[in-house]
């Protein structure tokens, strides 16, 4: 029976933006065995390079707001215009370092590229992993006027106020989550439309693929994976994840810097050819 596997990117498939070669081979091995593997990430499509996407059958991006399977776009949810304007105005008023995320590009205020380079270099770019920083900076477009841009999610890398407080100021239509890209404090995080989450995107993709919920496997490590893991027929959680995720895990795997997907996939019977390694 074919399975559909939905894998988070940061902290699950990749370590600080860098994907272990063994993880790429594990995904390809599962696909060769007839299973479908979809990248399920908080990142928008514009922040996921082709070299990464080409290993998968599709993408659930923007934490469930964007779904593309086999080149067919099934969902592309954006902030309503009035709400988007309020979000941008509030973030500019608080001098937050933020980007507006869309499938086609990232947008931010003038000077954001330099601010992000300073923020990301000690974390995501540590160990000489400049390519991981470039994956964020390359699709970034800076502008003095952000009012005309459409976006599906916002990532805040630094703010004078906690992201949770900013979300409360915007109102009940917007929720907040910790930032999974950088691992920074509560003054970094994501703003998203309530009702949009990875489980929604995963369910849409699975229905399109003709896969029953019982044959869906979710793999993740962060708070924005909680809905996905709870919805999946089988929940696979990275060791060291928050306790709320560990509590619902059917399987625990090692983190990506130890290529945890390799043994995890073998134990689940997705890559039987790798089971003896």
The per-residue pLDDT for 185 is: 61
The per-residue pLDDT for 276 is: 40
Q: What is the pTM of this model?
A: 0.92
> What percent of the chain is modeled with pLDDT above 70?
93
The per-residue pLDDT for 120 is: 86
Instruction: For the chain, list residues with pLDDT below 50.
Output: 182, 273-277
Q: What are phi and psi of 179, to 5 degrees?
A: -80, 120
Domains, the chain, ranges and CATH?
4-76+196-274 (3.40.50.1000), 81-193 (3.30.1240)
The per-residue pLDDT for 181 is: 59
């Amino acid at each position: 029976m074919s399975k559909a596997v939905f894998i988070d990117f940061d902290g699950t498939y990749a370590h600080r933006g860098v994907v272990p070669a063994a993880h790429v081979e594990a995904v390809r091995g599962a696909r060769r065995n007839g299973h479908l593997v979809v990248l399920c990430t908080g990142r928008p499509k514009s922040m996921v390079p082709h070299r990464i996407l080409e290993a998968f059958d599709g993408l659930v991006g923007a934490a469930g707001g964007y779904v593309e399977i086999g080149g067919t776009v099934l969902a592309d949810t954006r902030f309503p215009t009035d709400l988007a304007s309020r979000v941008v105005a509030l973030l500019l008023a608080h001098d937050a370092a933020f980007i507006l995320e869309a499938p086609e590009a990232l947008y931010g205020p003038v000077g954001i590229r330099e601010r992000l380079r300073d923020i990301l270099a000690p974390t995501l770019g540590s160990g000489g992993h400049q390519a991981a920083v470039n994956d964020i900076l390359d699709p970034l477009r800076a502008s003095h006027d952000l009012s005309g841009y459409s976006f599906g999610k916002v990532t805040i890398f630094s703010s004078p106020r906690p992201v949770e407080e900013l979300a409360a100021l915007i109102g009940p239509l917007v929720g907040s989550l910790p930032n999974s890209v950088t691992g920074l404090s509560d003054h970094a995080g994501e703003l998203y439309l309530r009702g949009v989450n990875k489980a929604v995107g995963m369910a849409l993709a699975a229905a399109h693929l003709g896969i029953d919920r019982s044959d869906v496997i979710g793999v993740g490590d962060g708070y924005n994976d909680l809905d996905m893991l709870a919805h999946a027929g089988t929940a696979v959680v990275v060791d060291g994840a928050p306790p709320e995720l560990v509590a619902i895990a059917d399987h625990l795997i090692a983190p990506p810097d130890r290529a945890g997907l390799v043994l995890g996939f073998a134990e689940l019977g997705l890559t039987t050819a790798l089971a003896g390694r």
